[in-house]
Structure 1
Amino acid sequence: MDWDRFTQAVSGVASSVSSTVKQVGSVVSDQVYGTVASMSDFAARSPPPPPPPSDSFVDRMYDTIAAHKKVCAAMATVVTGTALYMVYSGNTTKRRRRRLACRAQDGGRHEVVLLAGSPSEPLVRLVAQDLNVRGFIVYILCTPGEDDLVAREKCSDIRPLVVPSYDAQAISQVANRFDEILSAPVASFSGATPHRLKLAAVVLIPDLFYPVGPVEALSPQVWNQTLNTKVLMPLNMLSGGFLNVVRRHQARIIFMMPSIMSSLEPAFHAAESLCAAAVDSLALTLSRELEPQGVPVIHLKLGSFDTGNRRVSERQIIKNMRADVLAWPEQVRHLYGNAYTGSAYLQTNRTRGSRLRVLHHALFDAITASTPRVVYAGRGSYAYELFARMVPERLLTWILAPGDNDLE
């Protein structure tokens, strides 16, 4: 009796488990079938087309720069120059010192600086006046007739050194006479012990005017005059006997040249670029030749300076450039006229330059202190050169391309 009851109970449990398993299996099979069906439907459907690509950040930046290339180039130059100036100023924390020339034992002047440049140039006169204030005896190399300009300074320590011509014999005679002046004993005052003068530096300052225009529009006479005054005259002076005087006094040779236009080398500025490249090569070669002899050669590259003169407007510059165009031959005028006047913005000073004190300090340090072979002075002197080196040539040509300025 008990065994029958147990058998019935087991049979009931078994039938219950069997029905439960069948139900679970049916639910699982339905879920698997639905999942497989949905996956088949998803695989059968084609993916939607991708959305059209939008302008990237680089494309938008390129369009902005293309629309305002001159403004962007000016901003990049200013930011780069400011950053480099801050880094340079932070790394050169030199103590303040008075920039004055050394004196003789009796307090008189005994250091001499020779300026090889025309006294009719404002820069030559400004440099001479500043060096005189700092305690140097300044000699200005000049031609007959220009000594009157030196006499107008009315200063006994700014003196002319007249050279009749720039041929080899005349330069040699002037160099010997200058050596005799330096070798002769001088007394600062009556009763003082005589002392000899010492040549501190020879500073070569060519005039800052360069002819502007297409190469075809500049006559051979203009090219000859430009190369003679900017390159050949300083070279003849040094090789004609003044190098012996410099070597005897262990003095320094300093080349002063503008560097902004020659760094960018834009169109219609071939004369300035050519002269600057020649002087740069001359300074480097001469430095390597004279370094074993203890004679430093320093290239002082000038940027923009605020001289206090009234700024010339771009409209006046365009007016002057149009007058130049009218003097060209008809074919040259047709080929270059509009592009030439469109480059007027390169000759317009849109920002104020550095103070002249920056130039005077840089020149004094080049004469007296240990400085690099190349010294930059003035706003834009280093920034524009670095900008021209870093920017690819095609991009730089695009930036410097003349604007639209129709002559009609």
Structure 2
Amino acid sequence: MTSDDQFFFDYLASIPHDVRRYSLQVADSIDRQFDWAAATIRDTLSHQTWLPPSVRPRLRAQDMRSSPHGLADRVQDWLARHRALTAAIVAFVGTGCVLLYGNKKLNSKRRKARKAGNGARKEIVVVAGSPHEPMTRAIAADLERRGYIVYVTVSSADEEHLVQSEHRADIKALWLDLTTTSPNQSELHPSLHELRTLITQPQYPLPGMPPHTCQLSGVIIVPSPNYASGPVATIPASSWADTINTRLLSPILTAQVFLPLLTLRSNSSSLIFAYPSISSSLSAPFAGPEVTTARAISGFATSLRQELYLLENGNVDVVELRLGNIDLGPSYRNAQNQIAGTEVLAWSAQQRALYGSQYLNSIEQRPVASAGPATIRGSPARALHHAVLDALEPASRNIFGRRVHKKAVMYVGRGARSYGVIGDWVPSGLVGLMMGYRRGQAAGLGSPSSGSETSWERV
């Protein structure tokens, strides 16, 4: 018998086994289908109310246990039937949480100054504002705690003594007389030669230690937030001149003086303007000096920002900090010198009759803390300090290696952003209605009655 014959007989012998296996599989499949159909019919008939109870089939205990009724049972049954999909979902969600948490930890800002290789402080920040202002002292103290070398501009011996009374080695007074100019406009201001030496020449903190070079990280311009208030007709010309000189012209000249130092080196630096913004956003009545100054500073900052963008290096960012209500803490609160509204007594009788009731009503409805820090709850000082540090952070770079400019406008404090949106989008008439401003009955141009004058004297 050849090998071909043997293969043929082996194949014939395997046919009965295959037929038996296939027939068993078909029978099992038919049994399962019949069982499923019977169970379906039994379940359907068991819920039919028109059948007599004696004829109605009863559910088996196994079927009753296998049908989950609660949400937890259905979820557990679904998870048991889709184990692969459940494992994939758990892995995806877990990996996403780990990556999100890790990215948050890696990108969290330390908000501290960088130090030189020898451990000494190297970042310099100039705070251009009066040391008598609580905000100037609060910003300087926080920056010094975070590792910066802080210079506070002074223009008198009293201000210099106030800076020295802080008793901190890295908070120093910087004499800056804006009335003194160099013979050549292109030359550096005489008061800034010390800063230029620090950022251009190596500094030796201690004998034997390697030298380091400091850098000017930013200039923070903080004009006084206190403005004269009242109708334009009652504000004297001297008050307008003082407001323009100290809160508008002085910040502009300060920025002009420091620009040569800020552009001297290629390191990233910031020019920061911090000013109140609520009244200017709403164009509030009886706040003419504040609205005028804030709008002018904002316009100047925008123009200067576009001008510095055109430079080849483009390493200076102009940032506006539009401030709302900020509580600097009890140690920085000024004592209230006078009660709000008493300035009405200095007006003439005609001015009191025309503007008195509306002005007093505006003081009650004013959204700023003009009546004292205890009446308006402001954001904590931490919000201001974090915003200043974010503005001083070195500029980042995108995936193409190009420098990304910092945020041009930052809103700090309670009410700054919300009132800014209201002032931009809500009609002025509706804003006045929301703030409670009402048009009153103005008195005639003649002399007011004696009764009204007596009532004003009671204020």
TM-score clears 0.5: yes
Inter-CA distance 383–99: structure 2 relative to 1 (3 Å threshold): same
Partner of 1:289: 307
Q: In the aligned structure 2, how far is the partner of 1:305 from the partner of 1:122? A: 11
Alignment partner for residue 335 of structure 1, among 348, 354, 365?
Answer: 354
Partner of 1:247: 263
> Given that residues 252 and 297 in structure 1 are in contact (C-alpha distance below 8 angstroms), is that contact kept between their aligned partners in structure 2?
yes
Q: Residue type matched to 1:261 in 2? A: S
Alignment partner for residue 125 of structure 1, among 127, 134, 137?
Answer: 137
Q: In the aligned structure 1, how far is the partner of 2:358 from the partner of 2:104? A: 46
Deviates more, 1:132-141 or 1:166-175: 166-175
Task: Please give the secondary structure, in 2, of the residue aligned with 1:209.
Answer: coil
Q: Residue type matched to 1:257 in 2? A: Y
Q: C-alpha displacement at 1:176, in angstroms?
A: 3.4
> Given that residues 341 and 363 in structure 2 are in contact (C-alpha distance below 8 angstroms), is that contact kept between their aligned partners in structure 1?
no
Q: In the aligned structure 2, how far is the partner of 1:238 from the partner of 1:366? A: 16
Q: C-alpha displacement at 1:167, in angstroms?
A: 4.0
> Given that residues 144 and 164 in structure 1 are in contact (C-alpha distance below 8 angstroms), is that contact kept between their aligned partners in structure 2?
no
Q: In the aligned structure 2, how far is the partner of 1:93 from the partner of 1:260? A: 33
Q: How does 1:249-268 map to 2 (within 5 A)?
A: 249=265, 250=267, 251-268=269-286
1:142 aligns with 2:177: no
Q: In the aligned structure 1, how far is the partner of 2:424 from the partner of 2:290? A: 18
Q: Residue type matched to 1:339 in 2? A: Q
Q: Residue type matched to 2:303 in 1? A: T
Q: In the aligned structure 2, how far is the partner of 1:366 from the partner of 1:123? A: 17
Inter-CA distance 399–311: structure 2 relative to 1 (3 Å threshold): farther
Show CA shifts across 1:100-146 (max 9, x none): 11110011100000111111111111100100111100011110211
Inter-CA distance 321–305: structure 2 relative to 1 (3 Å threshold): closer
Q: C-alpha displacement at 1:235, in angstroms?
A: 1.2
> Given that residues 329 and 381 in structure 2 are in contact (C-alpha distance below 8 angstroms), is that contact kept between their aligned partners in structure 1?
no
> Given that residues 319 and 391 in structure 2 are in contact (C-alpha distance below 8 angstroms), is that contact kept between their aligned partners in structure 1?
yes
Q: Residue type matched to 2:354 in 1? A: L
Q: C-alpha displacement at 1:378, in angstroms?
A: 1.2
Deviates more, 1:186-195 or 1:174-183: 174-183
Q: In the aligned structure 1, how far is the partner of 2:326 from the partner of 2:362? A: 21
Show CA shifts across 1:47-86 (max 9, x none): xxxxxxxxxxxxxxxxxxxxxxxxxxxxxxxxxxxxxxxx
Inter-CA distance 156–372: structure 2 relative to 1 (3 Å threshold): same
Partner of 2:323: 302
Q: C-alpha displacement at 1:307, in angstroms?
A: 2.5
Task: Please give the secondary structure, in 2, of the residue aligned with 1:296.
Answer: strand
1:223 aligns with 2:240: yes
Q: C-alpha displacement at 1:175, in angstroms?
A: 2.9
Inter-CA distance 288–311: structure 2 relative to 1 (3 Å threshold): closer
TM-score of the pair, normalised by structure 2: 0.63
Q: C-alpha displacement at 1:399, in angstroms?
A: 2.6
Show CA shifts across 1:15-65 (max 9, x none): xxxxxxxxxxxxxxxxxxxxxxxxxxxxxxxxxxxxxxxxxxxxxxxxxxx
Q: In the aligned structure 2, how far is the partner of 1:154 from the partner of 1:204? A: 23
Q: In the aligned structure 1, how far is the partner of 2:258 from the partner of 2:178? A: 15
> Given that residues 167 and 236 in structure 1 are in contact (C-alpha distance below 8 angstroms), is that contact kept between their aligned partners in structure 2?
no
Moved over 6 A (4+): 403-406
Q: In the aligned structure 2, how far is the partner of 1:297 from the partner of 1:177? A: 24
Q: C-alpha displacement at 1:160, in angstroms?
A: 0.6
Q: If each structure's helix is expressed as a fraction of its own residues, which one has the higher value?
A: 1
Identity fraction in percent: 34
Q: In the aligned structure 2, how far is the partner of 1:352 from the partner of 1:307? A: 11
Give the length in aligned residue pairs: 312
Q: C-alpha displacement at 1:254, in angstroms?
A: 0.6
Partner of 1:183: 200
Q: Residue type matched to 2:426 in 1? A: V
1:381 aligns with 2:406: no
Q: How does 1:150-169 map to 2 (within 5 A)?
A: 150-169=163-182
Unmatched 5+ residue regions in structure 1?
Answer: 1-91
Partner of 1:205: 222
> Given that residues 122 and 213 in structure 2 are in contact (C-alpha distance below 8 angstroms), is that contact kept between their aligned partners in structure 1?
yes
Q: Residue type matched to 2:420 in 1? A: E
Inter-CA distance 211–136: structure 2 relative to 1 (3 Å threshold): same
TM-score of the pair, normalised by structure 1: 0.71
> Given that residues 144 and 163 in structure 1 are in contact (C-alpha distance below 8 angstroms), is that contact kept between their aligned partners in structure 2?
no
Partner of 2:343: 324
Q: In the aligned structure 2, how far is the partner of 1:175 from the partner of 1:311? A: 29
Alignment partner for residue 190 of structure 2, among 173, 193, 206?
Answer: 173
Unmatched 5+ residue regions in structure 2?
Answer: 1-102, 396-405, 441-451
Q: In the aligned structure 2, how far is the partner of 1:242 from the partner of 1:229? A: 17
Show CA shifts across 1:274-298 (max 9, x none): 0000000011000000112212111
More relative contact order in 1 or in 2 (CA 8 Å, sep 6+)? 1
Q: In the aligned structure 1, how far is the partner of 2:104 from the partner of 2:298? A: 29
Task: Please give the secondary structure, in 2, of the residue aligned with 1:336.
Answer: helix
Deviates more, 1:168-177 or 1:331-340: 168-177
Inter-CA distance 362–321: structure 2 relative to 1 (3 Å threshold): closer
Show CA shifts across 1:365-388 (max 9, x none): 100154311111111111110012
Q: In the aligned structure 1, how far is the partner of 2:301 from the partner of 2:332? A: 32
Deviates more, 1:333-342 or 1:368-377: 368-377
